[in-house]
Every structure is written in C-alpha cells, then in structure tokens.
A and B are shown apart, each in its own frame.
Chain A
C-alpha cells in the first residue's frame, strides 16, 4: 500500500509539473469566464449601425421615427422608475430632469409608462391616465422632451440602457445626396453607412419598390427592426382606411398559446421559468465536461503507461513492486491528477457563478448559481467522473501495457473510442427525454452508465435506479480492473509486436500465476 501511494504521489507530482495539467485546470474557468463575459463585452463594444432612409411615401419615415422615440423614451422612463424602486436615486442613476417625477413613475405599470412617453412625444394627454398624473406630466413634459432630444449619445447608455439609439443611428445625408440613391450606394460602399432603406411611394397599397441595401446581408437585425416598425405603422394606416378598430385587429391576431407547465414530484403543476429550462439542459453540458475529462485523463494514463514501458523503466520498478501494485499506483496517481482538475473546475464553477457577476457589475442572463449549489449536479459529476475514469482506466492501462508505441495503441483504442462516442450521440435524445426507454436501458450498460446517469440528472432518475446502476458499474469496474491486472502483468514485460485480441483474452482466462503461451 505504501508503495502504491509512493508511485501515485510521484505520478501526481510529475503531472502537476506539466503545462497541460495547468492548461487543463485553467481551461474551464477561462471558458466559464468567456461564457459570462464575452456576450457582455460584445454588447458593449458593438458600434451603432448607421443607416439612411429614402422615403418616397412622404409619411412612413416620420411615423416610424415617432414610434422609435416613444419606445426609447418609455424605456428611459422604465429605467428611471426601476432605479427609484431599487433606491438608486442619485443623479448618475436618474437624470436631474426626471428626479422630481421619479417617485410618481415608480408607481406606474409598463403600459402606463408607455402612455406617459406617448403623451410627452405627442404633447397631448392620451385618454386613460389618472388626473393626478396628468398634472405632473403636463408640468414636466416640455423639460423632459427637451432633455431627451438633447441627450448626448454617450449618456444614452447610462439613462436608457437598451435604447435603439445605442444600436442604430439614422443619418440624414446632406444636400443632393439625400435624393440620390447612387451617392447613398457609394456611402454604403465606403463604410460611411451600414445600409439604406428605400420606402416605396405607396406602402399601404403594396410593398413593391421598398428595398434594403447593404453589403452585409447576414446581419439582419437592422432590417428586421426597422421593417417591424414600418409594418406596424402601415398596419395602422390600413386599419384606418378600412375603418377597423385597432383593438379588434389586435384581438383577431392574438394567437392561442399553450403555456408550458412542469409537473412537480408531488404531482402539482408548476410554471416553467428560464432556470427550469437551464436545469433541463445543464446536464448536457455536464455530460460533455464529463466526457472530455474522462477521455483526456484516461488518455494521459495510456500515454504514460506506454512511455514508461518504452522508457524501459518498468523492469526497475518491477524489481521493487509487483505488477498489480504498479498498475494500482499508476491508476491512483492519474486519478488524483484528474480529480484535482475536475475538482478545481467545480470550485471555479461555484465561486465563479457566485462572485463573477458581482465583479462584472451586471447580472448574467441566466442564473447559474442555483445549479452550482445543487448537489445532484456537482456531486454526481465528481462521482461519475471517478467511476467512469476507473472503468476506462482499466481498459486503457491494459491496452497501454501490451503496446510499445502509441501508434499500436491507436489500433486497439478503436473499439474503446466507439464505445465512448455512443453516449455523446445519445446526449441530446436523452436530454429531451431523461426518463425514457433509451435513457433507462442505457443507464444499465456499464460503460455508458456515468454519462447517461449524468445526462438524466434533470429527470432525475429514481433512487433505486441510482443504486442499481451504481452497483452494476462498481461490479464491472472490479471485473475490469481484475482483467486489466492479468493483462498488465504479462503485457508490461513484452516487447515487440502487440498481441492480438484473442491472445489477450487467453491471458485474462488463464489462472493467476501462469504466463500462458504466446504464439510467435
């Protein structure tokens, strides 16, 4: 036992000195960090798209602009209201001009805020606003309107995050260029404009002649955004023309939605939120991590065994320890290495989800910390890493012991790789149906058990299933290690051509203490 620990310790120290060990440890936090930071950064660094519009209809652009202003202003009011509710009331959070009414705004619903914005832009009070509010709006309207129109682009982000001004800026080309589509085309060509729109003379009757011109047609955000706004305005005109009540039109267009509900363990219906969907798919990510870690760590064991064998160091070792001790030492040493890597991943995961959003000063789109604190995920991940590793370690250490070069090992690795690929293929189907027949059957096939059971964590499987599959897996691990030991003690001293599978099977069947014959 002491020797096994010595060898394991040596193995671990040697691995810990390699670059790939540290790359392996840092890979995950770097990926996690990128996953959380990059979308944020991309959003921040995205420059506003400049566009121009040639309006041949004479009214649509104006209507769209008004709609944009109302939407953005409503957004600004919503932000002010939300911040007031959170108690952030200094002038960097809420513009001075909004300070006096922020308290009132905080008490309003989103549609009411939109109505206030409309009132400010139209300089008229729409129906349906309470009288007390009407007085406030009338009193502050002009000042807010002036503030909004003179707000520099650099401040928009601070007071109205998410406003369309951040993303799209309409440019009004001066002089003759305005009417001349050729010169607009040149501006798109040299990058002064991202795109320009041509609105046909009569969009209400039909859209013939309306165009969107850009060099970049894969990024359709601008086209869709402006197109939706224009459609809305055209629909308003069409409804007016046909004397259709807009409320009626909206009602007719309302689709039938089936709200997804999840059935809880107690048989109650629960509403599904973003976190539930995350929980449903998080196992897939964990399976993938599990797969990568088991694959790389067992690969480490394989190369390591072959290296030691081709290094001729094996015989010196065998003069001090028995082959089984040697094998156990190797497997334990690499297990320690692997556990350190995946353990640090999980630690980064828990710490990262807890503290990284705070450091970034922004909440992530999805809340990962609930996942990080759930023992079903992290606990079973570490458990199944260890069990999966041991099973595949037995296979690979056996293969490694009979090969003298990595190339030889590749041939014998073929079947193992195929076994390893199956759970990857089954990952999505099992993620969709974690307690289905496929999932249940595959849980009981030992080489798949770790991956499939991890995959099913969202189900989750019953305690009985956990127990039975674990027993079956552990029994196969013991059997595999026993067979590996038999192959190892013969194979490790072999030089020259690797034995074929039939020969290896004969070694496994032979009683302990005998070296079966090797046909030349």
Chain B
C-alpha cells in the first residue's frame, strides 16, 4: 500500500514513563490527518520520532516510503509547537536559511523567500529583523520557513495555538491548499472543532496509545447519537431529563447524548416549558463528545 507515513507498533519510553506505546498509524498520500489528544498524551513525542529528532525504542517508522526517516528529512516540513525565530536575523534571510538547510540552493531559496513573503503580505518585512514582527506575523514567518522547500509531508504541531481568528482562518486555508496541491498534512491539536472541520482522518492518542483511529466518519460512529440544544435559562434542568446518558453543557448550548433507543422527540417534549429553546438539532456526536468519552472512559478504567 502506498503510504506517506507508516508507523508500526512504535514505542518510546523516557525512563519509567512510557510516552508512546505501540502506536500504529497509516497515513495515505494527499490527506489531512489530525492528531488529537490531551496535553502530555504523546503527540509531540510521536511527531519527533517521525522527524527523527528522537528514535523509537521499538517499532518502525516509514516516512514517504523510506524506512530510514532521516534520509527523507529534506522532504518533510515541520512546525514545532514551541516556535522560535532568530531575533536578530532579517526575515527574508531567515526564511531562505531554513530552505537552504533543507537542501535548496542559495538562489532558489532567496527567490522563493521573497515570493512567499510577498504572497503572505509580508513583503515590507523582508529586510527587517525578526524581533520587529508581531506574534501573528512571527507565526506566519515560521510557517513559511516550514514550507519554503515545498515538502511532501507537512507536520504541524499545534498550528492554531495562540492565533487570532483571522490568522486561524489563514492557517486553515493553507492546510486546505496544501491538500489541493497533493501534499500530505499531519497536524496535532487539542481543539476538536478545528479537527472536525478539516480532517479526513483522525487519530486520538491518550496516554501514549492510539485509542481511536480512522476516517472522521468512522471515529464519530464510535459515539452515540446526540442532540444540540441552543437555549436560554437554567441548564441544570437537563439532569432531570430521562433518556439522556451524558450532558456537555456550555451555558448557552448543550449537547445531550441519548441513551440507546431514546426518541429525540420525547426529550424535546420534556424540555418544552422549562427552557427557551432556540435550536433543537439531532446529529451525530461531536468529536468533543467522542474525545471526552473515550479519554474519560480509559482514565476511569
């Protein structure tokens, strides 16, 4: 099978802590793959092994068809969660520098850096030092540094963290563009809504293990049916409703997970008169629900 990335029972321990435990993963070419999981679940360690920054204790990592990930480092683009820039370096030079480290020749790297910065409305910053950039612009420059060598597999560790909504939109657009260009994108996040919106495949990592893995639909089918209620009033009322197994109440919107065989209409009937209901929507469970249930379930076990 032709895979961009193939992890086979990869494990990694730091002392007595098993950071990653027998994780297997198959990422086809040209998809967007979401890496989900709570903080400290082992997402970054897994990514570092893919980038051959760390080496697995056991298992194999095959990247772009090559069992030695180090050999294809130049075809990978990696944006770490903790991002940094050389403060004293000029923006244009910095972007070109990372391209050169990835094997671009000097001239190509320089021209591409100029083009990319212009595309991303950063042309004015070409000759300014990185310390003059605002946080959002700095993030953009880091992303450009990751992409300048046109990698086949792009790995973004928490690309949305710390971004304002405008920049979130830009990064999302970028991920979709990469997919359209036939690149493979793997990104980690703990914000489920973002993953739900753009991912073709998902893997949920918890305590170093891949607990859910598959297409978005497959993952979601693991959860029970739910109802979304937009409401005004006292949300504590939901607890008195019969046939509801779980409640994710956010104050103005609540997700009610139905016990098997419960009719949504019966739930609606119970709510009428007790709350002002603005929307009542039956739907498959949100990723958030799947996530909380799976993670919560394993931690109870």
Task: State yes or no: do A and B come from one complex.
Answer: yes
Contacts of A7 in B (CB 8 A): 101
Given A315-B82, A319-B78, A6 contacting B88 (CB threshold 8 A): no
A322 to B55, CA, bound (A): 12
Q: Is the CB of B100 within 8 A of A519?
A: no
Q: Is the CB of B55 within 8 A of A513?
A: yes
Is B207 in the interface zone, CB < 8 Å from A? no
Interface size on A, residues (CB 8 A): 28
Is A254 in the interface zone, CB < 8 Å from B? no
Mark each residue of chain B from 48 to 70: 1 if its CB lies under 8 Å from any CB of chain A, else 0.
10010111000000000000001
A217 to B110, CA, bound (A): 70
Contacts of B183 in A (CB 8 A): none
Majority SS at the chain A contact face: loop
Given A10-B97, A320-B73, A311 contacting B15 (CB threshold 8 A): no
Is B84 in the interface zone, CB < 8 Å from A? yes
Q: Is the CB of B80 within 8 A of A312?
A: yes
Residue from B14, B76, B78, B82 in contact with A312 in the complex, judged by beta carbons closer than 8 Å: B82
Query: Would you give the shortest CB distance from A317 to chain B, in whole angstroms?
Result: 7
Q: Is the CB of B83 within 8 A of A316?
A: yes
Is B98 in the interface zone, CB < 8 Å from A? yes
A18 to B98, CA, bound (A): 22
Is B142 in the interface zone, CB < 8 Å from A? yes
Q: Is the CB of A311 within 8 A of B86?
A: yes
Is B87 in the interface zone, CB < 8 Å from A? yes
Inter-chain residue pair count (beta carbon < 8 A): 72
Is A371 in the interface zone, CB < 8 Å from B? no
Given A6-B97, A6-B100, A517-B15, A316 contacting B84 (CB threshold 8 A): yes
Contacts of A315 in B (CB 8 A): 48, 53, 78, 80, 82, 84
Q: Is the CB of A518 within 8 A of B84?
A: no
Contacts of B78 in A (CB 8 A): 315-316, 319
A18 to B74, CA, bound (A): 31
Q: Is the CB of B88 within 8 A of A313?
A: no
Contacts of B83 in A (CB 8 A): 312, 316
A316 to B55, CA, bound (A): 17
Contacts of B98 in A (CB 8 A): 316, 320
A515 to B17, CA, bound (A): 12
A518 to B78, CA, bound (A): 26
Query: Would you give the shortest CB distance from B159 to chain A, in whole angstroms?
Result: 13
Query: Would you give the shortest CB distance from B95 to chain A, in whole angstroms?
Result: 12
Is B220 in the interface zone, CB < 8 Å from A? no
Is A3 in the interface zone, CB < 8 Å from B? yes
Is A229 in the interface zone, CB < 8 Å from B? no
Mark each residue of chain A from 430 to 450: 1 if its CB lies under 8 Å from any CB of chain B, else 0.
000000000000000000000
Contacts of B14 in A (CB 8 A): 515, 517-518
Is A44 in the interface zone, CB < 8 Å from B? no
Q: Is the CB of A316 within 8 A of B76?
A: no
A515 to B20, CA, bound (A): 14
Is B299 in the interface zone, CB < 8 Å from A? no
Q: Is the CB of A311 within 8 A of B16?
A: no
Is A257 in the interface zone, CB < 8 Å from B? no
Q: Is the CB of B54 within 8 A of A321?
A: no
CB-CB contacts below 8 Å: B122-175 with A? 142, 145-146
Q: Which 10 A-B pairs have the closest CB atoms?
A: A517-B15, A312-B84, A313-B84, A319-B78, A312-B82, A315-B80, A311-B84, A320-B101, A318-B53, A319-B51
Chain A residues in contact with chain B, CB under 8 A? 3, 6-7, 10, 14, 17-18, 308, 311-322, 493, 513, 515-520
Can you list 11 A-B contacts (CB < 8 A)?
Answer: A14-B89, A312-B83, A312-B84, A316-B146, A317-B101, A318-B51, A319-B78, A320-B101, A493-B48, A517-B15, A517-B16
